[in-house]
Amino acid sequence: MAAGLVAAAAIGCGRPSLVPPLPPLPEPVIPYGPPAPPAARDPAVDEVVGALGARVRAHWKPLVAAAGISYPPGELALLGFKRERRLEVWGRDTPAAPWVRIDALPILAASGAGGPKLRQGDLQVPEGLYRLVAFNPRSRFHLSLMIDYPNTDDIAVAAATGRTDLGGDIFIHGGARSIGCLALGDRAIENLFVLVADVGLGHVEVVLAPHDPRGGLGLAPMPGMPFTADLYRRIADHLAAFATGGPPS
C-alpha cells in the first residue's frame, strides 16, 4: 500500500523538487478506509527532512513550547477554513490531553466555493474529517501532503445520492495556485512537511470546513444538498474540541 500511495502522490502533483525522480511505479490502487500500519518511508522524504530539518525545527520548537507541549507533539490536527483562508495547526502530547493551538497559516489559494467536493473536475476543496495518507517530496507545487479524499464517508454519501467519479489527488501543497487543493506557499509547506514527518502521518487529522463555526456563525446546510446537514453537524461537533478564537497574533 505504501508504494501505491507514494505513486499516487507523484502522479497527482509531480515534478522533481529537492531530489531526483524515482523510476515510474505501477498505477496505484488505493483502498479507502482506516489507514494501514506505517510502512517504510520513501527515502526521498528523509532527504527533504534532512535538508530542511534544522531550520524548520528551529521555527516550530518555540511555538510548540509556548503552547505548553513537547516537540514533536504526539498528535497533530490541521483545521482548514475555506472562507477565512486559514489553516490552523493544533497539537497535543497524548490522546487524553486537550488540544492546544500552535500556529495559524494563511491559505494562499483554495479553488471553488463553500460546499463539499462532489465530483472529478468541480475544483471544489473537500469538506469533512480526513487523515493525511502520503508525503509527496516531488510535487510540482514544491512539496505536498496527500489527504484521504474520498474517504469512506464521502464514498457512502456519494452512493446514497447516486454520484460516481468523485475525483481524488487532494493535497496540501506549496505554491499559490489551487485546483481543489490547499496552497500554502513554499516556505509554509516546507515547515508543515517536516513537522508532519516528525509527528508521523498516522498521528495527524485534518478538518476541512466551509468556514469557522466557532465564532457563532453555524454551518448551515448547502441548498440542494440535504446530506450536508449531517456532515456539517459532525464537523461542528468535532471542532468543539478546539477552543474558540482567532489565529495567534
In the predicted model, what is the mean pLDDT of the chain? 86
- The per-residue DSSP string of 145-213 comes to EEE--S-HHHHHHHHHTT-------EEEESSS--SSSEE--HHHHHHHHHHHHHH-GGGEEEEEESS-G
Q: Quick check: is 55 in a domain?
A: yes
Q: Quick check: is 134 in a domain?
A: yes
- The answer to whether the peptide bond before residue 31 is cis (omega within 30 degrees of 0) is no
pLDDT in tens, 157-188: 999 999 999 999 999 999 999 999 999 999 99
Number of structural domains the chain divides into: 1
Domain holding 160, by residue range, is 2-30+42-213+222-239
Q: Quick check: is 205 in a domain?
A: yes
pLDDT in tens, 23-75: 333 333 333 344 445 556 789 999 999 999 999 999 999 999 999 999 999 99
Minimum mean pLDDT range among 5-9, 133-137, 198-202, 224-228: 5-9
Q: Quick check: is 155 in a domain?
A: yes
Q: Quick check: is 200 in a domain?
A: yes
Looking up residue 86, the CATH number of its domain turns out to be: 2.40.440.10
Q: Quick check: is 232 in a domain?
A: yes
Q: Quick check: is 49 in a domain?
A: yes
pLDDT in tens, 104-152: 999 999 999 999 999 999 999 999 999 999 999 999 999 999 999 999 9
